[in-house]
Chain A
Amino acid sequence: MGKDQGMMPWKEVPFGLYILEPGNSAEFKTGNWRSLRPVLDKEKCVKCGTCYIMCPDMCYDQQDEEGYYLVNLYYCKGCGICAAVCPKNAITMVMEEV
């Protein structure tokens, strides 16, 4: 684990643990908490965007050129909500290999 998760020695802790850079939460890696990974079956997907809307961590990117919503695994925590809400069962949660 590294500094993308706020891991630093105490001497490098910012004053008062302030966050001095606005919006730097985007750098914070939450993806390695995940034990299950969402895998999309493009055959079944109807590009409705429910997964994009419902992901509590806004892990899905906006539609790509083909219209699909693709997950950003840097952030995805593997909660499975997207798979549960997908009307076409196009998302399967797959165990991460250790």
Chain B
Amino acid sequence: MGKRVAKEVSIAIADAVKLARAEVIAAYPITPQTHIVEHLSELVANGELDAEYITVESEHSAISAALGAVATGARTFTSTSSQGLALMHEILFIAPALRLPVVMVVANRALSAPISIWNDHSDIMAQRDTGWIQLWAENGQEAVDLVIQAFRIAEDRNVMFPTIVNIDGFTLSHVIEPIELPDQEEVDAFLPAFKPKYKLDPRKPLTMGPVGIPEIYFEAKKAQDEAFKNTRRVILRVWKDWAQRFGREYHPVETYRTEDAEVVLLINGSLAETAMTAVDKMREQGKKVGLIRFRLWRPFPMQEFRKAVSKIPVLAVIDRALTPGGVGGPLGTEVRAALYNAARRPRVVNFIAGLGGRDITVEDFEEMADRAAFYLKKRPKEAYEMIGVRES
């Protein structure tokens, strides 16, 4: 068993990438992802990690170089945030269609304008439909675990899809937490070498990324979608194996004190931990409040999600991104859509909170839970409400 040490989460993530024996890292520094890639470049420069570190001139090039590298059969890592992720946008669609299993950590940060280096989820929500597997970490230990798991999931021959691990910028990336880094032998036993069935090799030429004329494009997309949905089985198997080896459990939908709950909060990312404190506090006051968060966001865990909320009267979905002029935040909209045809479903109330680094406090969570309880009897008039905006 590894030793529990106090570490900045970004540094621990870089150490996890080293433990995973990444062979190529292509990255461009951007706040708040910087410490991850800085530490990786140190590890490579010091000879502690035997990898090719490709310095590039932009995130568009970083992800392009990463795809080229993984196409040759090299275990590949990249990381970015916000505007950098947005700059990767067009290439992000190509990775899953070409079945190139890059692993990327996104240190979630707001998108400009106004310019903001602080945390929310608008960067990743704008990339929802690019076709990557998406996981969320709440704390440093989960970030480390998920990064190591992400390589195994992404590179499994029955998966072969790129995978994003979301970590909140600053509120997770820059905090120092007690983290247990597994030993190298333990990681080696868990994570086999990357051996793709097909790779770019001059001795065995093949073409990746040919044109898809109208007669084949649709079938190619159907094949991609089916393969993507089928990754679920492998993800569950990997988490089971992880739990057996390391004793920490992961589920597509994580629940906290939801049994008998009347109001359940739903939030992704590190603030779920603040929400837990709020839940504990409200439980002490006799309020029946619980918490749900998505560990797996893509492919959407429909089965697990419907099951988790089937007996809940009111679900308060807290979005950390805005869909201007839309019918809710991205999370709220999707949750409503996922439940629309469900036999048993909660009333869904959608809050938007914590944009651009605005704190969401324990009191804010209490306020949202109380408002949601009010909507138990009365339908909300608005599609969504903002929490924490100054009115006067």
Q: Interface on A for B, CB 8 Å cutoff?
A: 1, 5-11, 13, 15-20, 22
Given known A-B contacts A18-B206, A22-B205, A7 and B215 have beta carbons under 8 A apart: yes
| Complexed CA–CA distance, A48 and B52 (Å) | 54
| Complexed CA–CA distance, A64 and B62 (Å) | 52
Closest residue of B by beta carbon distance from A9: B219
Contacts between the two chains (Cβ within 8 Å), count: 53
B215 contact set on A, CB distance < 8 A:
1, 5-7
Interface size on B, residues (CB 8 A): 22
Beyond A7-B216, A17-B216, 6 additional contacts (C-beta under 8 Å) are A6-B216, A8-B216, A10-B220, A15-B99, A16-B160, A17-B212
Shortest distance from the beta carbon of B229 to any chain A beta carbon, whole Å? 13
Task: Produce 1/0 per residue, B201-221, CB < 8 A to A.
Answer: 000011111101101101110
| Complexed CA–CA distance, A44 and B73 (Å) | 57
The reply to whether the CB of B98 lies closer than 8 angstroms to some CB of chain A is yes
19 contacts between A and B (CB under 8 A): A6-B215, A6-B216, A7-B215, A7-B216, A8-B219, A10-B226, A13-B216, A13-B223, A15-B160, A16-B97, A16-B98, A16-B208, A17-B97, A17-B98, A17-B210, A18-B98, A19-B207, A20-B206, A22-B206
Decide if B212 touches A10 in the complex (CB within 8 Å): no
The reply to whether the CB of B377 lies closer than 8 angstroms to some CB of chain A is no
A1 contact set on B, CB distance < 8 A:
215
Majority secondary structure, B binding face: loop
| Complexed CA–CA distance, A17 and B276 (Å) | 45
The reply to whether the CB of B222 lies closer than 8 angstroms to some CB of chain A is yes
| Complexed CA–CA distance, A2 and B329 (Å) | 45
The reply to whether the CB of B198 lies closer than 8 angstroms to some CB of chain A is yes
Shortest distance from the beta carbon of A16 to any chain B beta carbon, whole Å? 4
| Complexed CA–CA distance, A22 and B99 (Å) | 20
Decide if B220 touches A17 in the complex (CB within 8 Å): yes
Decide if A15 touches B197 in the complex (CB within 8 Å): yes
Closest residue of A by beta carbon distance from B99: A16
| Complexed CA–CA distance, A20 and B210 (Å) | 11
B213 contact set on A, CB distance < 8 A:
6
Decide if A10 touches B97 in the complex (CB within 8 Å): no
A6 contact set on B, CB distance < 8 A:
213, 215-216
A13 contact set on B, CB distance < 8 A:
216, 219-220, 222-223
| Complexed CA–CA distance, A10 and B224 (Å) | 9
Enumerate the 6 nearest inter-chain pairs by beta-carbon distance, A residue then B residue, closest first. A19-B207, A10-B219, A16-B99, A10-B222, A13-B223, A22-B205
Closest residue of B by beta carbon distance from A6: B216
Closest residue of A by beta carbon distance from B205: A22
Decide if A10 touches B223 in the complex (CB within 8 Å): yes
Given known A-B contacts A22-B205, A22-B206, A16 and B198 have beta carbons under 8 A apart: yes
| Complexed CA–CA distance, A7 and B197 (Å) | 24
Closest residue of B by beta carbon distance from A24: B207
| Complexed CA–CA distance, A11 and B206 (Å) | 20
